Structure 1
Amino acid sequence: MNELEQAGLARLRDGWISGGAMFEFAPVEWKGVATASSPDEQERRLLAIAAQALDVALRPAAPHVLKRRPPLPVLALPMLPDRLRPPLRAALKYAADARLKTRVATLVASRGFVLHPMDWMPAASYQESPDVYAPWVDWQAGAESEKQSRREHLTAETWDDFYPAARRTALVDLRRTMPALARALIETKGASETAEVRLALIELMRFGLGTDDVPFLKSLSADRSGKVREMAGRLLARLGERGNPTDGGSEDPIAELAAFIEEGKSGFIRRRTTYAPIKLKSPAQQARRADLFVSCYFGDLVARFGKTESDFIGAWQFGVDDGADLFLVRMVSVSGGDAAVACLADLLVAAGGKLALLVLQLMLRLDGGRKRVLIRQILNDAQNLAALNLVEGAEAGWLEWGDLANGKTLSALRSAVSGDNDVTKRSAEQYLEAIGFLANPVTAEKLIGEIVAAGLPPASPSLGLLRLNAALAESPSQSDR
């Protein structure tokens, strides 16, 4: 449409707005079509032609910067039934951030459904979404070609047919089932990737990590990325490989770190060795000790004392220095062996109180069983319920009613919602959200009844995830009948 035509249509529009008849001012070609027996019919026909011209025939062409995107991929699970979308939206609205919204999606996925894209879409930059959403993550990232975002099997030949999120999901599955095949793919295809992508690929080696991975991880000592070399070193340390890197501040950082730890003895009849952090004299010493705990590997430290990892953990005097306890737990998390992580987690959970909360630093290394033990410990004590929102990677929908009723949590929640302390009541509502993710449907239904009876309004938004959980009791096949 040229400027003259646009001006003519604008003249017609302005005339109609002012209430005038515009047939005499129409283009000659239009008059032959719009001619009718009455003036009103002429104006109506002219208006229809003008509307067709503006809205259909003469629409401006799309700018060249626009790109056609492929259709939104269909996911492997059925969409959440429409009848459940209102409680879903209520739960999503109450969730304060992306992590909590993802937790809602994880609960729904555990019951065999995916969310409608108009209710929730995973961000391309967020890597913690349920695996079933990997095609949507890649679509959000703006994939431009028409190639498939996921094929049945990931191989060297189909590597480029997978977008990043789908490829990551496939590699994790391979590392759990066929770790050697996944390692070969990471080794052959990762070499040509950028440092950021290589780092993400090497990080996936933690799944199914074993001694067969040692030669490849050692070869990464020559990688051009310092972060890749560091990640490979930590994975080797988990496998018991020694050789902690030195830094610029000391020729022997392990010896320097060991100097911050005091060896002692305890017991009168059966004397046993203990290890405790020495009392620091200055902020500079605190900063240096923190740096050494971060840069050194746990296996090298315990070897300095001639102990095994589990023996050293058992001899450590927790409670002497809270900062040193935290640094040690983090050190075990990133570079300790699987046996050391399990030993430390069991020790801390058995100790209870604030020491049990240190297990949160080990979440990425714990199996589902130990995570459940920790959660039950938190619920039983009811003193650190805020830690429920910090538990990473917990399974959804397993918590039974006895886990709540047999501990102190249920009575604490009742007291909080029935009291006059607004701060305590708000905290309790946040705990309800966390329990709404962990509970099974029966527990969710019972807890709603208990909390409402204690005084919480039935329409409280904090009950949203519990209500959704209870409503998801039916399987996908049952909900479709």
Structure 2
Amino acid sequence: MATLVAGRGYVLHPMDWMPSASDQNSPDIYAPWIDWQASVEGLKIAPQEQLTVQNWDDFYPAARRIALTEMRRRDPATARSLMEAKAPGEPAEVRLALIELMHFGLTPEDAPFLKSLATDRSGKVQELASRLLARLGEHGRVGGGADDPVAELAAFIAEGKSGFIRRRTTYTPAKLKSPAQEKRRAELFETCNLVDLASRFGVSEPDFIAAWQFGADNNADIQISRMVAASGSDAAVTQMADTLIAEGGKPALFVLHLTPRLDSRRKRVLVRLILKDTPQYVSTLTLAEGFEANWLDWPDLTNGQSLAVLRSAVAGNDDAMKRTVDDLLETLGFLATAATAEKLIEHVVAAGMPPAAASLAFLRLNAALTGTNP
């Protein structure tokens, strides 16, 4: 809600909602509020000059986060130097939040600093640094012995061939024999990095993803998608997204796991594809992260059967489906423009939803925020 409201040039009333002092995700406009919360007396104001080693302690966490984020986009080397100098003296949770900012403008020049974090006092910081290094193509697993988790994960994947004229390699999840194997495979996908797994088979990350047989095992497809999102290179992420979106249908839904890594254009293409081609899976939009607010137009919602499916669910008697509709309306209320929100309210009310239903609250707020506050 805060993101949608901020996108229209407004803020929530502080008596209705106030971000916590540890908030890392609210829109930048709330940074002074967060820093006010962090201040013991609520009087200190973050300086307006550029963040440096000398004035680091004059910035409260939210203002520092915004300054570092902007610096990583504009001058990543300077931002990295600041983190190298100041992060070691911060508590573990602050160090983790700082290192998370490294994904902005991540380049091979960041590798030495990230490698130095292998001895950080926090296991979470070590793991995050390893993931970021993997995105740069740095291998985190070596060896190949019996206790090598990458080798263990590779054993759950069958390498094969397909095609008669042009033979090509395929990678298919092996048939599992027990729930224990299912659990172990999930753990390995979560802890291993894509670059190491692809290297185990002697191929690049994009080649491994291109050869993965989506549709053979739904759980494995979800696990590989999450692995790509967490540790895959930018090339692997875009290759997987573009391939599955072009294929369409159910396989495109796995791209939802990649949304934190996708650019705005690909996110919008994905949402429009789901609304148009897979209305039976439209509820999956509630699972995605990182979408922008205030862009979904009415033709996007009516280009296919999704609106009809939504109206049918509203008119039906399936309680579970109605709860899903509630979540979906909240998601659509975030994505939609004000005009789209207003039209959607009319349609779901016409389908049988009470005009005063709580499910419409987000849509009504959206529709009320017409224009942009100067």
Give the TM-score, by structure 1 length: 0.72
Runs of 4+ aligned residues of structure 1 deviating over 6 Å after TM superposition are none
Superposed, 1:199-238 pairs within 5 Å as 199-238=96-135
Q: 1:225 to 1:440 in 2, by over 3 A?
A: same
Distance in 2 (CA, whole Å) between partners of 1:433 and 1:302 is 39
Deviation of the 1:466 alpha carbon? 2.0
Work out which of the residue numbers 176, 179, 184 in structure 1 matches 2:73.
Answer: 176
Deviation of the 1:253 alpha carbon? 2.8
Residue identity opposite 2:202 in structure 1: G
Q: Show the counterpart of 2:242.
A: 346
Say if 2:32 and 2:45, in contact at 8 Å, map to a contact too. Answer: no
Distance in 2 (CA, whole Å) between partners of 1:148 and 1:180 is 27
Deviation of the 1:323 alpha carbon? 2.3
Q: Show the counterpart of 1:369.
A: 265
Q: 1:474 to 1:254 in 2, by over 3 A?
A: closer
Deviation of the 1:352 alpha carbon? 4.2
Counting aligned pairs with the same residue, the percent is: 62
Per-residue deviation, residues 359-405 of structure 1 (Å, max 9, x unmatched): 23222211111211222222222212322222212111100111011
Deviation of the 1:251 alpha carbon? 4.2
Distance in 2 (CA, whole Å) between partners of 1:106 and 1:205 is 23
Deviation of the 1:438 alpha carbon? 0.7
Deviation of the 1:146 alpha carbon? 4.2
Q: Show the counterpart of 2:207.
A: 311
Secondary structure, counterpart of 1:119 in structure 2? coil
Distance in 2 (CA, whole Å) between partners of 1:459 and 1:131 is 32
1:257 corresponds to 2:164: no
1:244 corresponds to 2:134: no
Distance in 2 (CA, whole Å) between partners of 1:252 and 1:420 is 52
Per-residue deviation, residues 272-308 of structure 1 (Å, max 9, x unmatched): 1111122223344333333322232211111121211
Q: Show the counterpart of 2:307.
A: 410
Per-residue deviation, residues 312-354 of structure 1 (Å, max 9, x unmatched): 1111111222222222112211111001011112233344454
Residue identity opposite 2:222 in structure 1: L
Say if 2:280 and 2:309, in contact at 8 Å, map to a contact too. Answer: no
Q: Show the counterpart of 2:59.
A: 162
Distance in 1 (CA, whole Å) between partners of 2:182 and 2:77 is 42
1:397 corresponds to 2:294: yes
Distance in 1 (CA, whole Å) between partners of 2:142 and 2:62 is 32
Deviation of the 1:189 alpha carbon? 0.8
Secondary structure, counterpart of 1:383 in structure 2? helix
Q: 1:135 to 1:460 in 2, by over 3 A?
A: same
1:107 corresponds to 2:4: yes
Distance in 2 (CA, whole Å) between partners of 1:259 and 1:113 is 53
Q: 1:469 to 1:287 in 2, by over 3 A?
A: closer
Q: Show the counterpart of 1:53.
A: none
Residue identity opposite 2:56 in structure 1: W
Say if 1:135 and 1:150, in contact at 8 Å, map to a contact too. Answer: no
Give the TM-score, by structure 2 length: 0.92
Distance in 2 (CA, whole Å) between partners of 1:415 and 1:227 is 45
Distance in 1 (CA, whole Å) between partners of 2:319 and 2:232 is 43
Deviation of the 1:208 alpha carbon? 1.0
Work out which of the residue numbers 435, 452, 457 in structure 1 matches 2:332.
Answer: 435
Distance in 1 (CA, whole Å) between partners of 2:252 and 2:66 is 32
Residue identity opposite 1:396 in structure 2: A
Per-residue deviation, residues 30-82 of structure 1 (Å, max 9, x unmatched): xxxxxxxxxxxxxxxxxxxxxxxxxxxxxxxxxxxxxxxxxxxxxxxxxxxxx
